Amino acid sequence: MNERTPIGEAELRLALRGLRRDIEPARDLWPDIAARIGALPRQGASRRRHPWLLSLATAASLAAALGLAWQLRAPPATAPAMPAVASAPSLVEREADSLTVQYQAALRELDAHPVPANWQPGIEALDRSAAEIREALRAQPDSRLLLERLRATYTRRLALARRALYA
Amino acid sequence: MLLQAMPLTPDAIDAPSAEASEDAALVRRAAAADIAAFEQLYRRHHARMHGVIARLVGQAGARAEDLVQEAFVRAWQALPAFRFESAVSTWLHRLAVNTALMELRSRRGRPGMDDDADALDSLPTADTAGNAMLGRDLERAVATLPPRARAVLVLHDVEGWKHEEIAAELGMAVGSSKAQLHRARHLLRERIGGWA
Amino acid sequence: MHTLLKLPVAIALACSALAPAWAATPIDQVRPLDPRGRVEIDNLKGRVEVRAWDRQEVRVTGSLGDGVEKLVIDGDRDELRIEVKYPNRSRNTEPTMLVVQVPLQAELEIETVSADIDVHGVAPRELSLQSVSGDIVANGAPRRASVESVSGDVNLTFNSSEVEASTVSGDLVVAGRLTGEASVETVSGDLRFDSRGERLRKFSAGSVSGNIAARLALAEAGEIRMESVSGDLGLDLPKDLSAEVSGESFSGDLSAPGAKIQREDFGPGSSFHQRYGDGKGEIRLETFSGDARLRLF
């Protein structure tokens, strides 16, 4: 067809999404990769020499996990606040705990780099807020609101630390 | 008007699947310095990683291949720190993106950050694009975008990332990511001539 | 910082601080720019002021702080990039003051770290202002605006149909003829929003401990969502409101005209659900311990 029509927003978006495909490199890259790995110093030494590498990799994991944790969980039906039951931790609370552990691990590595003064007030505010939300979760363990706020606060905190790193 | 729809690669579903568990087993072995297991990981994931790297840097070629190698070397080094918070394929994908963007993050605004001149030259004009399939022209047009705008567009509109993730990855504010996306889409429309 | 300096005072202070104390280098450069061209400005430290004018030109004046590597102005009629370049890892650079005059409709993106941003009278399609610790003051009529400071205060007066603004610890004020969609966020700053009587299709506001006070009107079948942890939520809407309104709080006080507040039988928690008019729109207020209050005016 030689007809021309203007491309709609939705069409363009769909076409862009369609660009997402695997692409084979022109040659087999494995031999070169194996050679480079062979030339690396022993694992222990390289871990010390590349702190940034590990923190970036871990932060990448965490970011993936934070994004995924939210996508995987279907929001429970909204219900009025339930009284805190002093028994096994709720699903939300366990997720909040797991989020916190991963977040703290990633942050420990990122925070090994000193944060410039300009970022300090924002970072401190986020840390205080995260603590406040964790405290609130103890009183209301089933709160989706609190879990979402916690996730958003952690993500923002992490993003800020990385932004400071790259500044 | 012809729209060449490229097949979408199936998303890594992060529910337990045969593929995911195989990946996990390979990672455990590779983390213990089993290079044969790491080669298996390479075989399984390199095309996907090369795909996203090529899109981010503009095209498949020497630079993309170099970055793929670098991504895998970094993966080898970082594997011991991988805690299985996400699927292996997702982690590798992120590492690939991270590797391709490292240069971009640190070299903001320097010469060479302008449009890719070679790619711009080979872009068909609106006239010659009459019968062209949107897919191919689109890929080429994306390649001509300024690097930061391209990165945001590829990550958002092609790979499906959210602005918060893009901003964190690129070390920019969320608002900047959104501004770059608008700019990229605007430039893209201009370059594909708005017609198909 | 929780005080907003008045503009003339701010300029006077900036000038007096920069001129004699350090060997600041004056700037005066002009470049052509198309009426809807794009201007990107990057200055870590000091101040960035932008003023609109009716010339198809960008004029950069001000003074470069001592120790700065150089001022880069790069690009063409479509797109201009103005960047203050700092030597790596420097701690001894002095602030740079940039005053940039731009075509009225030029697209604007400004990024700073500690430099304050002051934008006046622009009307672009797209406006993006980002700072870490700098204060941001802006007014104009951008079609779409995205503004963020982490610990600086943000004060926006816009006529706009799509606004996103956020702070972490700074205060946030967004006012003007605001229609379409608006999304405002803070963590611990105080947030004030006023659409000056205009109707919005979508409004969302969130905070952790900062208080939020919003005054707006709802377009037909519009949506409002406000959330906080311990901050108070105050929402003022016109009496002709047509919406289903629900509120929920763990330990805060809820109030809405005519609404009956339900309390949990055992333990804390309260909620309400109230229909106003035809109930076409949807409004949700949710907090953990902050109070949430709807008022009709």
Whether B84 is covered by a domain: the verdict is yes
- Helix ranges (H only) for A7-118 are 9-17, 30-38, 43-49, 51-72, 91-110
Whether B124 and B100 map to the same domain: the answer is no
Q: What is the dihedral of CA B60, B62, B64, B67, to 10 degrees?
A: 170
- Nearest Cβ partner for A143 among C250, C264, C271: C250
Whether residue B186 is predicted with pLDDT greater than 90 in this model: the reply is: no
Residues 79-138 of chain B whose Cβ lies under 8 A from any Cβ of chain C:
108-109
ipTM for the predicted complex comes to: 0.79
Per the CB < 8 Å rule, is C146 touching B183? no
CATH code for the domain of B78: 1.10.1740.10
Closest residue in chain C to residue B182, using alpha carbons only: C126
For the stretch C92-102, pLDDT in tens is 788 999 999 99
- Burial label, A85 (beta-carbon count in 10 A; 0-12, 13-18, 19+): exposed
Q: Residue C115 in contact with residue C47, Cβ under 8 Å? A: yes
| Separation of alpha carbons C209 and C211, rounded Å | 7
Residue C188 inside a domain? The answer is: yes
Q: Determine the pLDDT at residue A46.
A: 44
Query: How much is the pTM?
Result: 0.76
Query: How sure is the predictor about A38, in pLDDT bands with cuts at 50, 70 and 90?
Result: confident
A128 chain-C contacts, CB cut-off 8 A: 188
Which of B48, B76, B106 terminates a domain? The answer is B106
Which is it for strands C136-140 and C154-158: parallel, antiparallel or unpaired? Answer: parallel
Using CB atoms within 10 A of its CB, is residue A139 exposed (0-12), middle (13-18) or buried (19+)?
A: middle
3-class secondary-structure state, position C183 = strand
CB-CB neighbours of A164 under 10 Å: 22
Task: Identify the pLDDT of residue B58.
Answer: 87
Query: Which residues are C13's β-sheet partners?
Result: none
Q: List the single residue in A with minimal CA-CA distance to B94.
A: A60
Query: Is pLDDT of B54 > 80?
Result: yes
Residue C215 within any structural domain of the chain? yes
In chain A, the percentage of residues whose pLDDT exceeds 70 is 64
pLDDT higher than threshold 60 for residue B107: no
Total tally of structural domains belonging to chain B:
2
Please answer yes or no on whether A12 and B83 come within 8 Å at the CB atom: no
Q: Do A15 and B55 touch (CB under 8 A)?
A: no
B171 pLDDT tier (thresholds 50, 70, 90): confident
Task: Kindly state whether residues B98 and B62 are assigned to the same domain.
Answer: yes
Task: Name C195's Cβ contacts closer than 8 Å, sequence gap at least 6.
Answer: C175, C176, C177, C178, C179, C182, C215, C216, C217
> Which chain C residues are closer than 8 Å to B174 by Cβ?
146, 148, 166
Residue C149: CB atoms within 10 A of its CB come to 29
Please give the Cα distance from A92 to A134 (Å, whole number).
Answer: 12
Task: Give the pLDDT confidence of A46-75 residue by residue, as tens digits.
Answer: 444 444 444 555 555 555 555 544 333 334
Question: What's chain B's length in residues?
Answer: 196
Of the ranges B102-116, B122-136, B160-174, the best mean pLDDT one:
B160-174
Model confidence band, residue C279 (pLDDT cutoffs 50, 70, 90): very high
**In the numeric block, which tokens belong to residue B97?**
């993106």
**Chain B with chain C: Cβ pairs closer than 8 A:** 38
Residue C68 pLDDT > 70: yes
Name the residue of chain A whose CA is nearest to B136's CA.
A19
Residue C231 lies in a domain: yes
Q: Which residue has the higher pLDDT, A9 or C26?
A: C26
Final residue belonging to a domain, choices B81, B106, B131:
B106
CB C159 within 8 A of CB C176: yes
pLDDT tens for A74-104 read 344 344 444 444 456 677 777 788 778 777 7
What is the extent of the structural domain holding C236?
153-297
With CB atoms and an 8 Å threshold, state whether C266 touches A83.
yes
- Domain segments of chain A: what residues? 51-76+87-167
- Of B106, B125, B160, the one marking the end of a domain is B106
pLDDT of the residue at A154: 86
Measuring CA to CA, which residue among C40, C49, C87, C91 is closest to residue C68?
C87
- Tell me, what's the pLDDT at C20? 46
Residue B115: Cβ within 10 Å count: 18
> Which B residues 40-59 touch C at CB under 8 Å?
none
Is A21 within 8 Å of B51 (Cβ atoms)? yes
> Is the confidence at residue C4, as pLDDT, over 90?
no
Mean pLDDT of all residues in A118-128: 91
The pLDDT mean for chain B works out to: 78
In a domain? residue C139: no
- Residue B131 confidence (pLDDT) above 50: no
Q: What pLDDT, on the 0 to 100 scale, is given for residue A79? A: 40
**Same structural domain, B71 and B147:** no
pLDDT at C176: 97
The arithmetic mean of pLDDT across residues B121-135, rounded, is 49
* Amino acid at position C29, single letter: Q
Q: Considering only residues 82 to 111 of chain A, which have any Cβ-Cβ distance to chain C shorter than 8 Å? A: 82-84
Facing C148 at nearest CB: one of B108, B109, B174:
B174
**Residue B174 phi, psi dihedral angles, 5° rounding:** -55, -40
Burial class (CB in 10 A: 0-12, 13-18, 19+), A115: middle
Which of the residues C208, C249, C251, C263 would you substitute to probe the A interface, choosing the one with the greatest number of A C-beta atoms within 10 Å? C208
| Domain around B179 | 109-196
Write out the H or E segment, with its range, that includes residue C190: none
Give the length of chain A.
167
- The verdict on a CB contact (< 8 Å) between C248 and A132 is no
- How many helices (H) and strands (E) chain C has is answered by 1, 25
Q: 3-class SS at B168?
A: helix
Model confidence at B84: pLDDT above 80? no
pLDDT bracket for residue A2 (50, 70, 90): very low
Lowest mean pLDDT: which of A97-106, B144-153, C119-128?
A: A97-106
Question: Do C38 and C78 form a contact (C-beta atoms < 8 A)?
Answer: yes
> Is B88 found in the same domain as B133?
no
**Residue that wins the pLDDT comparison between B109 and A24:** A24
Q: Is B169 exposed, middle or buried (0-12, 13-18, 19+ CB in 10 A)?
A: buried
Count: domains in chain C: 1
Q: In C, which residues are within 8 Å of A129 by CB distance?
A: 187-188, 208-209, 229
Assigned token pair, C121 = 């009278």
Tokens 């079609």 belong to which residue? C143
Confirm whether B181 is domain-assigned.
Answer: yes
Residues B58, B77 share a domain:
yes
Higher pLDDT, A39 or B2: A39
Residue A86: exposed, middle, or buried by beta-carbon count in 10 A (0-12, 13-18, 19+)?
exposed
| Average pLDDT score over chain A | 73
- Pairing, β C70-75 against β C79-85: antiparallel
Name which of C132, C271, C289 is nearest A119 (Cβ-Cβ). C132
Cα dist from B110 to A41, C97, C262, whole Å: 33, 22, 60
Stretch among A78-87, B9-18, C270-279 having the lowest mean pLDDT: A78-87
Question: Is 70 exceeded by the pLDDT of residue C22?
Answer: no
B92 with B78, same domain: the answer is yes
C20 in a domain, yes or no? no
Q: Identify how many contiguous H helices and E strands chain B contains and give both numbers.
A: 9, 0
Does residue B96 sit in the same domain as residue B146? Answer: no
**CA-to-CA distance for B172 and B174, rounded, in angstroms?**
6
3-state secondary structure of A85: coil
Q: What is the mean pLDDT of chain C?
A: 91
Quote the minimal CA–CA distance from A80 to chain C in Å. 7
- For the purposes of burial, counting CB atoms within 10 Å of the CB of C222, is it exposed (0-12), middle (13-18) or buried (19 or more)? buried
Cβ within 8 Å of A, C 145-184: 150-151, 168-169
Does the pLDDT value for residue C19 go beyond 70? no
Is the confidence at residue C179, as pLDDT, over 90?
yes
Asked whether residue B135 carries a pLDDT value surpassing 80, the answer given is: no
The least confident of B6-15, B68-77, B161-170 is: B6-15
Residues C26 and C61: their CA atoms lie apart, in Å, by: 7
Q: Is C114 on the interface with A (CB under 8 A)?
A: yes
**DSSP 8-state symbol, B154:** I
Q: How many other C-beta atoms are found inside a 10 Å radius of the C-beta of residue C272?
A: 21
pLDDT of C113 > 80? The answer is yes
